[in-house]
Structure 1
Amino acid sequence: MLKCDEKFLWNLLSLSQEGNFKAGRFALIYADEMIVYSYN
């Protein structure tokens, strides 16, 4: 399971299911690809 902020995880879920997400005070952002980077 990802150990991230819950708001970030909701954004990833929205992006993967709907192809868009709401980022704070900005307009709805549409994306057809997603890059996730993790380091330990």
Structure 2
Amino acid sequence: MFHFSTLSPWFEDLNFIERVEVFIVTLASLQVKQTIIKQII
């Protein structure tokens, strides 16, 4: 993970958008992991 402190100048303006992006990426990664596990099993 990158440090949010270095991105603070614009992170405050895009706080909500950034949270949404992180949420979507997290869901996508979880779905990919579940798909891989199902393929292995």
TM-score w.r.t. length of structure 2: 0.34
Structure (1 or 2) with the larger CA radius of gyration:
2
Name the structure with the higher helix share: 2
Name the structure with the higher strand share: 1
Bigger RCO of structures 1 and 2 (CA < 8 A, at least 6 apart): 1
